[in-house]
Amino acid sequence: DQLVQGVITAVAASAEGHDVLLEILIALPEELFNRKIAIDPDRRAAARHKILQETNVALNAAATIFQAPVDPQVAPHRQAKSLRVLSSWLDAHVKSHEIDPPPNSQPVRTSPLAREMADAPLFRFALEGIRASHETLLRPSGDVCVAVLSLMREVTPHPDTDRAIVLAIAEALAQGGEKMKMGSNIDACLVACEVLSALAREHFPYLYYYHEPSRPLLDRLADLATHFMSAVGSRGIGESPWEVATSALGVWSHLLDHQTPQLHEMAIGIAAGGAQVIPLVSTDRSAVRQELRELLKPLFTKMVSVLMEVLRYPKACETQQDFQFTLFHQFRDECATLLTESCRLVGYTHALNTVGQQLERFKQEGAGQGVVLPPWEALEGCLFVLTAVAPRAPAGEDNVIPQTLEALPSLPYPSSGVAAVLLRQTASRLVYFT
């Protein structure tokens, strides 16, 4: 009847069995969703629910092994396995909730298991792994945090315990992120982006609206996401930096995708239960949505300015024979999508005026003493931004687009090489799309 407890009793009788037990406890919840085992769906569901009822038994065993004395050289790897046990069982609950949502009309705002993490030693250790950006522990620590946030996805606004858990993750990531920014560990950056995305899906915008004291911390996380977005330029050209930059774009996309219409309804339900929240400025759903947009607008305005720099061709594309144009163009297309969607929040004027100011500066530099040609990649980047923004910008409300179109024939196009092709190609696309 007690499968997990039976396995623990049989395997963990000696210290030599600890590593074996951890591997079993990692694999067991994953096998609950293994479709290669042909059994009746009802029987599968019954087995899944029965085994998941022993989650605390498995986690207590992992915590005991985690705290047991061990050789210092072995400790980090055993600690990492203990954290993987925690993330594996948390993930199993996430999947189980997706397959069989609770049968009531109200959304589940917090899994009891997620709330128990507030006092769980393994969860506190996962936070330390994030905070220290520990090479061995960072990946499993990040997986734990993502799973916890997934079990709390519909908490809005957060009761005190739930908010404390989310803010603890955010604080640990903000501290660890400073170390990641100074290093060159690509996997660490990817872990940070995954946790940032989990925060951005639901918790970031709602905390920003309801919990004003957390806004400086959330601003730091937004800056961290923007930093990772520029990984392509700062880390050189290679497959992993593109992956980091693309993951960071996803963080901002999640912020744009949050379901703000639910904000008002969920707030009323929790406020009625006595949760301490910032009073709504308005009970009108559209007004709440507009208030949140205004709060997030400065963050997106800053991000858009960086994004317009990031999407430029790197200098290496002219000289590096194995420059990965396909990866860059995929990344750039995602940049263009994020840029146009973000302009719906911050307004198209910001992007258009920024491009207009850059083009005017290029013009003035070229008109001075001596011929000062603008960097072709900067000029091409301006045209690319206009191509992305122009189709959605209100027609006839700016001078930048028509003036640029008039100036296209007289631009200082390079006479040869990759730059000559790329700049002319982008100029042609601007004409086509406008």
pTM listed for this prediction: 0.85
Q: Per residue in 59-80, pLDDT tens?
A: 999 998 888 888 888 888 999 9
- pLDDT greater than 80 at residue 107: no
Q: How far apart are CA 32 and CA 92, in angstroms?
A: 8
What does the pLDDT read at residue 97? 82
What does the pLDDT read at residue 359? 87
What does the pLDDT read at residue 238? 43
Tell me the residue type at 120: A
Least confident range from 107-121, 189-203, 271-285, 412-426: namely: 271-285
Please name the residue ranges forming H helices in 68-120. Answer: 75-99, 112-116
Query: How far is CA 424 from its chain centroid?
Result: 35
Q: How far apart are CA 322 and CA 244, in angstroms?
A: 20
Q: How many residues does the chain have?
A: 434
The Cβ-side half-sphere exposure at 298, using a 13 Å CA radius, reads 8
Element (H, E) at 170: helix 160-182
Instruction: Return all residues near 300 (Cβ < 8 A) that are at least 6 apart.
Output: 252, 255, 342, 345, 346
Other beta carbons within 10 angstroms of residue 75's beta carbon come to 14
- pLDDT greater than 60 at residue 34: yes
What single string gives the DSSP state of each residue in 229-274? HTHHHHH-SSHHHHHHHHHHHHHHHHHHH--THHHHHHHHHHHTTT
Mean model confidence pLDDT for the chain? 82
Pair of tokens at residue 65: 């092994």
- pLDDT greater than 60 at residue 106: no
Q: How far apart are CA 241 and CA 185, in angstroms?
A: 10
Q: How far apart are CA 383 and CA 349, in angstroms?
A: 15
Q: What average pLDDT does this structure show over 28-34?
A: 88
What does the pLDDT read at residue 236? 42
Strand, helix or coil at 35?
coil
Q: How far apart are CA 22 and CA 286, in angstroms?
A: 50
Q: Please state whether the peptide bond connecting residue 41 to the residue before it is cis, i.e. omega within 30 degrees of 0.
A: no
What does the pLDDT read at residue 385? 94
Q: How far apart are CA 433 and CA 236, in angstroms?
A: 31
Which has more confidence, 405 or 321?
Answer: 405
Closest CA to 95 of 138, 45, 57: 45
Q: Per residue in 122-135, pLDDT tens?
A: 999 999 999 998 88
The Cβ-side half-sphere exposure at 69, using a 13 Å CA radius, reads 0
Task: State the architecture of 1-101 in CATH terms.
Answer: Up-down Bundle (1.20)
What residue spans define the domains of the chain?
1-101, 108-273+284-344, 347-433
What does the pLDDT read at residue 85? 96
Answer for the pair 259, 267: CB distance below 8 angstroms, yes or no: no
Q: Per residue in 235-284, pLDDT tens?
A: 443 455 778 888 999 999 998 876 444 443 444 333 333 333 333 344 45
What does the pLDDT read at residue 44? 83
367 pLDDT tier (thresholds 50, 70, 90): low
Q: What average pLDDT does this structure show over 27-39?
A: 84
How far separated are the first and last CA of the chain, in Å rounded? Answer: 69
Element (H, E) at 300: helix 285-310
Pair of tokens at residue 156: 């809005």
